[in-house]
Structures are given as structure tokens and as C-alpha cells.
Structure 1
Amino acid sequence: MSGKTGKRMAGDYEIFQAVHIGDKEIVLGENPQDTTGAEYMCAFCQNNALFDLYSDVMCSNDFPEIAELFGRRIAEQAHSMQAELNKMKAEGISDHIITPSDCPPISHSDDLHNKVIVIRPEVLHREYRRATCQLKLCKGGFGAYPNSRGSACVCADLYTGKVNRYERMDIMGTMEPEKLPQWAKERLEALSRRKADLER
């Protein structure tokens, strides 16, 4: 969270270095006024749209030690993401980026309920700019309605099934089920069956 000076602060620590990889951000902070032997800190940070949550905070006056921890955590997160990509490749899942030429754009009058939508790659973190993270099933939200003043769209990730919120402006277009890659067709069918079972 930024203070009045525009600096990003975590308690008394100014965050001066941060790298986001996968589901976590690794941050490095400094508190020059500290007198307890904890001038530098390294932590994981996750944002829930309301505030930053810091975890696994490690502090020290030894900057090389904290810098080494920062680098190690970045490497561990990168390794985790690479393992995920390798798993997808082993399953025969393509991780190519979906571009505007692959899907028709949406208009303000489109109803997005139960439509497969495509998230613009530029709004995603670099490691998530691929089809498995772009394809969502729009389940609702004020932004899903045509000509709505609201913008929030509640979406289920086709690959993981996780539910997230996106803004209508984040949506690049829609994709008809028959044009989806095979893995996405299978995931969409599974989500549809799950919804039907819950409605019984």
C-alpha cells in the first residue's frame, strides 16, 4: 500500500524491489530507522483487491543475506511456474497466446452470461499470457449485462476452474465452443455438468 509520498510501504518498510511470478510477489524492503537488527526485509505478497497480505517475512541487518533470500525465492517461484508449463506440455496442451485475430471483439450491447470470454494478454502477468489463463467462462457480475453501467465480471477459469473477477474492459472478445482447443472444450463440458448437477 502506498503512503502519502507515493512510496510503497509494508508497515515501516519501504518496498524498493518486487518481482511477481505465478501466484505470489516477492518483495524486498528497507527501514533505515530500525534499531532492532531488522533493517531489511524479504517477504511474499498477495493482493486480494483490498489490501496487500505479506507472509513468510524475514528480516536482517545483513543486506547480502536478505538479497540472497530474495533471489532464492524468485528462483523457486520461477521453477514452480516452469513445472506447471512442463505439465501442460506433457498433457498436450498448447500454451500459445490468443490474439484479437482469434476471437470477435465484444460490444457494449453484448450479454456475456455463460459465454466463453478471452482476457486481453496485456492485463495478465507475463507468465500468464497464454490460452490456459485467457479463456474463462463468464458466470455473472454487473459487467456481464448488456449496456450495464457496472464493469465487474465474475469468471471461472476454464483450465483450473478457479473463480476470479475481471473488468469488462479486460475482455478482448468471446469464443464459440466449437472453436475452442480440445482441452478447453473438455473443461467447459465439465463445468457445465457441474452446474447441471448443482441445479438438480
Structure 2
Amino acid sequence: MEREKRMAGDYEVYQALPIGRVEVILGIDMANTEKPYLVCYCSQNNLFGIDQFYGAEGFADYMEAMREFTKLLHWEIEKLQTERSAITEPMPPIQPVQCLPIRSEDDLSGRIVVIRQEWLRPEFRTSDNQLVWVTGGFGVSGNSRGRAVYAETLYSGDEYRYNREDLMGFLKPEHTPTWAAEKLAQRQAEKAPLKPRPRGEAR
């Protein structure tokens, strides 16, 4: 069976290189006589995990398009390097032996879970990207038929969509790094409901 073409609008995706949180796309539409080459970004971090193309620019010349393509890649690499340099402590990846398995009946809402290394892109296979706080989704309930799990990265607070099978387990308490315990306490304090003032208390 013929493989379905991946399209960015009218352009067939010719090159797609994942880097950081995006893909850099080069598309070709030879029916477009003025600008047959397209360079843009693509992200799938949305509710349905579908392609979202943005930042598109058309080119008449292939070499000009390739120069723009490589320039966007270089920018994303620089952003990753800047992010890494801001992290001053080691972030070794979390291994399966450090986790308790997630059972089908476990409810995940409001819990800290570990993302499988193989789900993450190579540049993100570190503990600061693996530890996430589950916030919702049809896959969080025990024995649910749903798969979607929405979570915030514990270190940065960035929001992502996962499937339940992307989760490796619950981190064993003895393997919890100091930074993770501090981040969790901070986030719990931020999300705690404010206590009402007693009547008559000065504002």
C-alpha cells in the first residue's frame, strides 16, 4: 500500500528534522512556479498531537531554502545549549530500576510520574525532563479506556501531552533528587487554595 504523503499545506514534506521541541520542515510543491520550496517549523504539542505548522517562508531557489533550513536548526541548537548551561547540577536519566511500576488500576491525577527515556528525543533524556506532575486527561483514571495524560514538567513547568504507556513508573522515594523535592514543595504551595480570612480581619 502506498504510503500517505505528509503535507504542510500544499507542500509535500521533503525533510523533517526534529530538534528541541519542534521539527524544522522543508517542503516542496513543484506546481508552485513562484516559490516551490517552503521552510517552516512544526509542533505536535497540542491536545490531539497533530501537526501544527508555523513560521512558514517560501523560496524560489532550493539552495536559499536549504540555507534557511540549516539556520533554523542552528538557532534551535543554540537555544538548547543555553538551556543546558543554566542547569548547574547533574541530571542523570532515571532508570526503570529506580521506579515502581504503574498498574492499570492506579489513578495518576496529581501524582509525580517518570517518562520513559525512549519517548523523549535524545537531547531531552535527562531527569529534569522525565519527572512530570500529572494534571489531567482521559488516561489518568484507573482502568480507563483513555490514553491521553496531560502533565507539567516538574523542573520547568512546561506542559505536554503523553499517552499512559509513555510513563515508566513512580519514582521510588529513595531516588528522589533534592531539586525534585524542592520543586514539588514549591508547586504544591503555589497551587494550594488560599485560606479565607476570619471575618473582621484587617486587609
TM range (shorter): 0.7 to 0.9
- Corresponding residue to 1:38 among 29, 35, 40: 35
Alignment partner of 1:183 is 2:179: yes
Contact 1:116 1:135 in 2 (8 A): yes
What TM-score does the superposition give when structure 2 sets the normalisation length? 0.86
Residues 156 and 18 (structure 1 numbering): CA distance in 2 closer, same or farther, change over 3 Å?
A: same
Q: Higher helix proportion, which one?
A: 1
Give the stretch that moved more between structures: 117-126 or 152-161: 152-161
Deviation at 1:191, TM superposition (A): 0.9
User: Secondary structure of the equivalent of 1:77?
Assistant: helix
Name structure 2 gaps, 5 residues minimum: 197-203
Q: Which amino acid aligns with 1:133?
A: N
Tell me the CA shift for residue 124 of structure 1: 1.4
RMSD over aligned Cα atoms? 2.0
Give the Cα separation in 2 of the matches to 1:52 and 1:198.
39
Which residues in structure 2 correspond to 1:46-195 (within 5 Å)? 46-47=43-44, 48=46, 49=48, 51-88=50-87, 91-92=88-89, 94-177=90-173, 179-195=175-191
Aligned equivalents of 1:24, 1:176: Cα separation in 2: 31
Matches of 2:53 and 2:67, distance apart in 1? 19
Which segment is superposed worse, 55-64 or 76-85?
A: 55-64
Check 1:15–1:192 CA distance in 2 against 1; reply closer, same or farther (3 A cut): same
1:11 aligns with 2:9: yes
**How many pairs were matched up?**
193
Q: What are structure 1's unaligned runs of at least 5 residues?
A: none
Amino acid at match of 2:150: V
Residues in 2 aligned to 1:60 and 1:142: alpha-carbon distance in whole angstroms = 42
User: Residue 99 of structure 1: CA displacement?
Assistant: 1.4
Distance 1:81 1:167, change over 3 A: same
Q: What's the CA shift string for 1:113-145, capped at 9, x where partnerless?
A: 332100111111222111111101123333222
CA change 1:151–1:51 in 2 (3 A) is: closer
**Deviation of residue 61 (structure 1)?**
1.9
Higher Cα Rg: structure 1 or 2? Answer: 2
Output the amino acid matched with 2:37. Answer: Y
What TM-score, normalized to structure 1? 0.87
Cα distance change on mapping 1:163 and 1:73 into 2, 3 Å? closer
Deviation at residue 53 of structure 1 after TM alignment: 2.5
